[in-house]
Chain A
Amino acid sequence: MLSVERLHHAYAPEQLVAANITFDVKPGEIVSIVGPSGCGKTTLLKALAGLLKPTGGTIRFQGKVVQGIPDGLAIVFQEYGRSLLPWTTVNGNIELPLRYQPITSAECRRRIVESLKAVNLTGCGELYPWQLSGGMQQRVAIARALAYQPKLLLMDEPFASLDAQTRADLEDLVAAVRDQFGITIVLVTHDIDESVYLSDRVIVLSHSPSSILAQVNVGLPRPRDQIQTKATQQFVEKRSEIAQMIRRPVGREAHR
């Protein structure tokens, strides 16, 4: 589905943010990328989306080398308030990317209704994004991505600026959406619990210049439950395994 080979990126010659990153994502997988803050997670995601040209390495999406923005890809950003367009309604926001797709207007309308239903926002189509709460806005952003019917959904810290309850709800929503639409999801997060709870596999990045410290297969059974799954031995073990890896370099620095 997606394969990243020896990816390397430097904003300036002495400002290396990513070094030698190689990984694959299989169709239908949910993969999380975690790492300490400032480790270049967002840079990596932007490179995957074709929004940024990496200084080295290749990214392949569905077998083709990514040059520019590939077809069949959607992004959900952390800043829902800035990613949704305030001058148009929820329907208008979802419709905009569909206008430039080769689909009929009936199909377009059907997709808007369906995607709003998938995120439990039926009936909110005529409202403006700023009339909704943060959690609802992020659900609109997810609905917009779903209506586009991407093969791959990239999410950049999608729930970082939401409260705990909304966040838990949206995590479950993302898992449900994956099952319903069969989308492959790559999610960047700094929240280890979230990465373990949501993903099939967690890619752990080191401090900047980031490289891959480990790829952890989560292997928790689905469907998962916010309370029960997080209380299992396996969840706790995976979580501490990843937390150890991320914390270690910081600890070393502190001892110096």
Chain B
Amino acid sequence: MSTEGIGIDRWHPHAFNAIQSLAVRYGLGIALIIVWEYAARKAGSIFFPPPSEILHRAVTLWLSGPPSRLFLSGSVFQDVIPSLLRLLGGWALAVLVGVPFGILIGRSRSLSDFLNPALQFLRAIPGPALIPVFIILLGTESTMRVTLIAFGCVWPILLNTIEGTRTVDPVQLDTVKAFRIPRHARLWRIVLPAAMPKIFAGMRVSLSLAVILMVVSELAASTSGIGYRIQNAQIMFLLTDMWCGIVLLALIGYTLNWLFLKFEKRVLGWHRGARGRTATS
């Protein structure tokens, strides 16, 4: 009977903490939406529709399809999914190029010294400035857009991988060398995991870059995509549609980052643990 009492006593502060932490986490967001709704209604400007109207319009735009298609409307298949595929495709391409080359360059002091000025120079080119070049070289189809996203995303991944590979602990390397662990295994089992925290940092920066570049790439010579829809809505003075696109982009960026953090926590759980331990001791 006493255990029951303790159980209840424990439960209360626990539930309270949960509510409190939810309030801290989402309170500001909810409050801002309420203020926005109120202010927009009060102002009555056609340039700033209230969020409820945006939400309503978004449902008609994207969730008015038949049940066989999970209620997704044509626009989802015409614009949203192609945009997401370009974004993820460009980003994945950047990872596939950036990580192996980063390891290769990072493992060789002379190679990285040799390439560094050129890489820094290329990195300084703003991706969008290359859109005209890419249109000439690759046309106006998805290839051009994916290439642009990949070009913009590759630099943080490449440079972080080089940095991460270079800073592998020499004691770790000496240890595995002394145990006669073969070269390829050292790369796979020591260098790569040791560089992983830096690589992930680069991948995360690139993911938000990918969202930006996806939109920018769809503003020029485009016939589909979220970026195209936003621009088109603006030209046709469909301002609520325009806001719908903007909110959707924010949601995509937020969700991608959230998913990536989940993934990172899984893969780099050890890093958090090891870092937390050294920080406290």
Contacts and interface: CB of A to CB of B under 8 A. Distances in A.
A222 interface: no
Interface string B182-205: 100100011001101000000000
Nearest to B268: A87
Nearest to B178: A75
A82 B178 contact: no
B57 interface: no
Given A96-B189, A128-B273, A83 B171 contact: yes
B189 A130 contact: no
Contacts of A81: 278
B178 A71 contact: no
Contacts of A131: 273, 277
B179 A74 contact: yes
Interface residues of A, number: 28
A79 B171 CA distance: 8
Interface in A66-100: 69, 71, 73-75, 77, 79, 81-83, 85-88, 96-97, 99-100
A198 B241 CA distance: 80
Interface residues of B, number: 24
Contact of B178 (A51, A85, A88, A99): A51
Contacts of B176: 96-97
Given A71-B180, A86-B274, A100-B180, A77 B174 contact: yes
Contacts of B171: 77, 79, 82-83
A79 B271 CA distance: 18
Interface in A44-81: 46, 49-51, 69, 71, 73-75, 77, 79, 81
B172 interface: yes
A87 B171 CA distance: 15
B169 to A, nearest CB: 5
A30 B178 CA distance: 20
A148 interface: yes
A231 B256 CA distance: 67
Contacts of A129: 274
A178 to B, nearest CB: 19
A151 B194 CA distance: 30
B274 to A, nearest CB: 4
Contacts of B68: none
Contact of A51 (B169, B174, B185): B174
B178 A73 contact: yes
B159 to A, nearest CB: 22
A97 B271 CA distance: 22
Contact of B193 (A49, A87, A100): A87
B146 to A, nearest CB: 32
Contact of A97 (B174, B181, B270, B278): B181
A96 B181 contact: yes
A249 to B, nearest CB: 30
Contact of A87 (B177, B270, B277): B270
Nearest to B185: A100
Contact of A75 (B169, B175, B185, B273): B175
B270 A49 contact: no
21 contacts: A49-B178, A51-B178, A69-B178, A74-B179, A75-B178, A77-B174, A77-B175, A82-B169, A83-B174, A85-B189, A87-B271, A88-B270, A96-B181, A128-B273, A128-B274, A129-B274, A130-B274, A130-B278, A131-B273, A131-B277, A148-B179
